[in-house]
Amino acid sequence: MRTRSFLRWTGAFAALGTLAACSPSTTKAESLPPLETVASVDLEQYLGTWYEIGSYPQRFQKGCTGTTANYAPGKGEMIAVTNRCFLDSLDGKEKVAEGRARVVDETSKAKLEVSFFGPFWGDYWIIDLAADYSWAVVGHPGRDYLWILSRTPQLDAEALDGIKARLEAQHYDLSRLEWTLQPAQAPAPVEAERG
């Protein structure tokens, strides 16, 4: 059952990336200035689990709640990516997608690419980041993708207000944001099943 969910998610991600490449981005369509990333990222500090607080809705995330992304050292210079969510409710069926990420800007390490399917890669730009890495904002140079992430399932209002103000300054349309249902607190770790 998990394999089917994985294939549906990765296949949709690849198809969406192909369609996006064939249509003008928001940045180009509205003649917006280039999107700016943060000056630098410590990737070791960035690794770990992030909770999705809000995002621009995408087809491959339809029905997702409790969405998380985990980043861990991968093969060679790659970063292993595991996205999880629960369909329709926090008690729903788990949906998992496994992929990989690579750095494309070695100077700042704020520009990466992510792949969940074959040769298809999508831009993953870190455009806002807390000094203590407690939250992050991930965008796309075309401004058609956006994710607000936090180390905890909930993000305090003051931090979120600041993020939204800076997103508006970067010409993001906040009316497109949808907020992700998350538990009140992080669930307790579950021990791996013994085979």
pLDDT tens sequence across 43-52: 999 999 999 9
- Let me know if residue 187 belongs to a domain: no
Phi-psi region of 29 (alpha: psi -120 to 50; beta: other; left: phi over 0): alpha
**CB-based burial label for 100 (10 Å; 0-12, 13-18, 19+):** middle
> Does a structural domain hold residue 25?
yes
CA 71 – CA 188 distance, rounded (Å): 19
Query: Is residue 193 situated within a structural domain?
Result: no
Q: What is the pLDDT of residue 189?
A: 63
Q: What angle do CA 57, 165, 52 make, to 5 degrees?
A: 35
Predicted confidence (pLDDT) at residue 11 exceeds the cutoff of 80: no
Residue 162 has pLDDT above 80, yes or no: yes
Q: What is the pLDDT of residue 9?
A: 44
Examine residue 192 and state whether it is found in any structural domain, yes or no.
Answer: no
Q: What is the pLDDT of residue 185?
A: 84
190 assigned to some structural domain: no
**Average pLDDT of the segment spanning 143-166:** 97
Mean pLDDT of 52-56: 97
Place of tokens 């990333």: 37
Task: Provide the number of structural domains found in the chain.
Answer: 1
> At residue 101, does pLDDT exceed 70?
yes
| Runs of H (alpha helix) within 54-171 | 157-169
41 lies in some domain:
yes
* Residue 86 covered by a domain: yes
Closest CA to 26 of 126, 139, 141, 120: 141
Structural domain span for residue 6: 2-179
CATH label of the domain that carries residue 134: 2.40.128.20
Residues 166-191: what's their mean pLDDT? Answer: 88
How sure is the predictor about 28, in pLDDT bands with cuts at 50, 70 and 90? confident
Average the pLDDT over 169-193 and give the result: 84
Is residue 120, in this structure, part of any structural domain at all? Answer: yes
116, amino acid identity: F
The answer to which of 22-26, 91-95, 174-178, 188-192 has the lowest mean pLDDT is 188-192
Mean pLDDT of 62-72: 96
Q: Any alpha helices (H) in the chain, and if so which ranges?
A: 2-22, 26-29, 43-46, 157-169
Burial per residue of 11-36, b for 16 or more beta-carbon CB atoms within 10 angstroms, e otherwise: ebbbebbeebeeeebbbeeeeeeebe
